Amino acid sequence: MVENEARKFRTLFLSDVHLGSKGAKASFLLDFLKYHDADTIYLVGDIVDGWRLRRNWHWPQEHNDIVQKLLRKSRKGARILYIAGNHDEFLRDFQGTHFGGIEVMDRTMHETADGRKFLVIHGDQFDVVVRNARHIAYLGDWAYDAALAINTVMNKVRRMLGLRYWSFSAWAKFRVKKAVNFIGSFQTVVSDEARRIGADGVICGHIHHATIEQIDGIEYINTGDWVESCTAIVEHHDGRMELLSWTHLIGEQAGFAPVVRLDDKRPKAANAA
Ligand SMILES: [Mn+2]
C-alpha cells in the first residue's frame, strides 16, 4: 500500500528518547520509525536513560522494540551513529566501538548533500559554560576549555557517588521565568563552538527544545525529544533540513495512520525544556 510506505530521507536525527524512563513516548517513536527511514541515522544522545535505569528498572517491551527496530534498520543497510549524551554517558567509555553495526562516539561532523558541515553533539558538555557564560567570556579560551573539563569530571564524580547528572534542562525548567534566557544562552554557546571549529551549523539535543534557526550566521538545529514534544530532524536528499513533529504528522497527514490510539494520550506540544 502506497499510503503506508515509509518516507525515505538522506539523514534522520533523533535525541532524548530516554528509554528506561517512564516518560519515554516509546509507542509514538515506534510508529514514527515505521513510517520514516533514512540512509544515515544519528542518535544524538540520551537515547537510553542510564541514570534512571540504575535507580529504577523500567524497560517495557516497547522500549525493546525500538532497539530492535533500529538494529533492523542497520541490518537493512542504514548507517547508524550513536552520539553519547549525559544520560547515556556510559557509552563515552566505548567511543569508536560498534554495537550491532551502530557506531558510538562523543561528537562528529556531518556533511549535508549540499556540502554544509554540521557539528553533531548532544550538548551537555556546555552546561557549565552556559551557567558561567559571563565569567568565561571575560576570562577567555582557557577558562572555556577548563569549564568543559570541569563539567566532565564533576559529573563523573557525581556518577561514582550515585548522584544524578546535574541537568541543565531540569535546572532551567525549575526556574521557569528565566528558562527562555537559558535556552538562548545554550543556543549561543553551542553555536559558538560550531563557529570555533569552522562548521556551518550544529545539530544537538539535550534541552528538549526543537528548532531550526540562524544564530549569528550559524545554523542552530535542535532535535527536541521523545518525552514531551516528539520531534525529529530530517535531511532531504537535496540537503534541506526539516523539523518533523509527530503530533503534527498524525494530525495533518492521514496517510501515516498511527497504529496507537492517540485520543487520550496525545503528548503536549513542544514547549520549553
Ligand atoms: Mn541530555
Q: How far is CA 74 from CA 30, 57, 65, 79, in A?
A: 15, 27, 14, 6
What was the pLDDT predicted at 2? Answer: 46
Tens digits of residue pLDDT in 14-45? 999 999 988 889 999 999 999 999 999 999 99
Q: Which residue has the higher pLDDT, 132 or 178?
A: 132
Structural domain total, the chain:
1
- 246 in a structural domain: yes
Confidence class for position 268, pLDDT limits 50, 70, 90 = very low
- 160 in a structural domain: no
What was the pLDDT predicted at 101? Answer: 87
Residue 184 Cα to ligand 1 middle (Å): 16
Provide, rounded to the nearest whole percent, the portion of the chain with pLDDT above 90: 49
- 27 in a structural domain: yes
- 157 in a structural domain: no
Residue 45 Cα to ligand 1 middle (Å): 7
Residue 16 Cα to ligand 1 middle (Å): 7
pLDDT at 79 over 60: yes
Residue 3 Cα to ligand 1 middle (Å): 35
Q: How far is CA 22 from CA 30, 64, 200, in A?
A: 15, 14, 36
Residue 240 Cα to ligand 1 middle (Å): 26
Confidence class for position 96, pLDDT limits 50, 70, 90 = confident
What was the pLDDT predicted at 63? Answer: 95
Tens digits of residue pLDDT in 188-243? 999 999 999 999 999 999 988 899 999 999 999 999 999 888 999 999 999 999 99
Residue 206 Cα to ligand 1 middle (Å): 4
Instruction: Give the range of the structural domain holding residue 65, as residue numbers without chain letter.
Output: 6-122+202-252
What was the pLDDT predicted at 247? Answer: 75
**Per residue in 98-111, is it b (16+ CB within 10 Å) or e — as a string?**
eeeebbbbbbeebe
- Residue 10, domain CATH: 3.60.21.10
Residue 123 Cα to ligand 1 middle (Å): 7
